[in-house]
A and B are shown apart, each in its own frame.
Chain A
Amino acid sequence: MKTFSVGDWTKSRLISVVVALIFCFLCQLAFGGDGLKIYLRLLFSLVGIYVTLAVSLNLINGITGQFSIGHAAFYQIGAYTAALLGSTYFSNMANHSSLLWLFMAMIFSAIVAGVAGFIVGLPSLRLRGDYLAVVTLGIGEIVNIIVKNQKSLGEAYGLSTAKYESTVFAVVLLAIICIAVSRNLLKTSHGLAFLAVREDEIASSAMGVNLTKVKVTAFVLGSAFAGAAGALYAHTKGFVGPADFSMDTSFLILTMVVLGGTGSITGTTCAAIVLFIIPEKMRDMHDLMLGVPIGVAIGIMVGVGMLKKIQDTFHGDGKVRFGMNIGSMVLGIIVAYGASKLLCTIHGLQTMVNGQLFRMPVLAITLVVVMLLRPQGIFGHNEFSWSWVQKLIGKKNVPEAEVAA
Chain B
Amino acid sequence: MSILTLKDATIKFGGLTAVNSVSFELNKGDLFGLIGPNGAGKTTCFNIITGVYEPTSGEILFNGKRITGTPSNKIAQLGICRTFQNIRLFQSMTSLENVVVGGFLRHKTVLGSALCYLPGAIKETEKLKLQALELLKLVDLDDVANTRSRDLPYGKQRRLEIARALATQPQLLLLDEPAAGMNPNEKKELLDMVKKIRDELGVTVLLIEHDMKFVMNLCEKIFVLDHGEEIAQGPPSEIRSNPKVIAAYLGEAV
Contact = CB atoms under 8 A, between A and B. Distances in A.
Interface stretch (B95-103, B177-185, B195-203, B219-227): B95-103
The SS class assigned to the A binding surface is helix
Contact of A184 (B97, B103, B114): B114
B66 to A, nearest CB: 19
A219 to B, nearest CB: 14
Contacts of A204: 90, 101
A188 B73 contact: no
Contacts of B73: 205-211
Interface centre among A185, A188, A202 (most CB of B within 10 A): A188
Nearest to B174: A206
B122 interface: yes
B119 A189 contact: no
Contact of B121 (A190, A206, A210, A400): A190
A386 interface: no
A401 to B, nearest CB: 6
B146 A208 contact: no
B208 interface: no
A58 to B, nearest CB: 15
A287 interface: no
A402 B37 CA distance: 47
B125 A189 contact: yes
Contacts of B122: 4, 9, 187-188
Nearest to A401: B146
A207 to B, nearest CB: 5
Nearest to B88: A203
B103 A196 contact: no
B82 interface: yes
Contact of B104 (A208, A381, A400): A208
Interface centre among A189, A195, A211, A404 (most CB of B within 10 A): A189
A206 B93 contact: no
A192 B97 contact: yes
A185 B118 CA distance: 11
Interface stretch (B5-13, B57-65, B126-134, B231-239): B126-134
B114 A191 contact: yes
A244 interface: no
A403 interface: yes
A204 to B, nearest CB: 7
| Size bracket, chain B contacts | 35 or more
A205 B111 CA distance: 18
Contacts of A217: 111
A403 B132 CA distance: 11
Interface string B21-61: 00000000000000000000000000000101000000000
Contacts of B72: 205-206
A187 B125 contact: yes
Interface residues of A, number: 37
A190 B111 contact: yes
Nearest to A10: B119
A210 B74 CA distance: 8
B90 A200 contact: yes
Contacts of B19: none
Contacts of B50: 206
A208 B126 CA distance: 19
Contacts of A180: 117
B105 A208 contact: yes
A381 B101 CA distance: 18
A207 B52 contact: no
Nearest to A183: B117
B249 to A, nearest CB: 29
B107 interface: yes
Contact of B81 (A187, A202, A206): A206
Nearest to A12: B117
6 tightest Cβ-Cβ pairs between the two chains A and B: A208-B105, A208-B76, A199-B90, A203-B88, A190-B114, A184-B117
Interface of B: 50, 52, 71-73, 76-77, 81-82, 84, 88-93, 96-97, 100-105, 107, 111, 114-117, 119, 121-126, 128-129, 133, 145-146, 164-165, 167-168
Given A184-B117, A208-B77, 19 more contacts: A4-B123, A4-B126, A187-B117, A187-B122, A187-B125, A188-B124, A189-B101, A189-B107, A189-B125, A195-B97, A196-B104, A204-B90, A208-B102, A210-B73, A211-B73, A400-B146, A403-B96, A403-B129, A404-B96
17 contacts: A189-B121, A190-B107, A192-B97, A199-B90, A200-B88, A200-B90, A202-B84, A203-B84, A204-B101, A206-B73, A206-B82, A207-B164, A208-B73, A208-B81, A209-B104, A210-B73, A401-B146
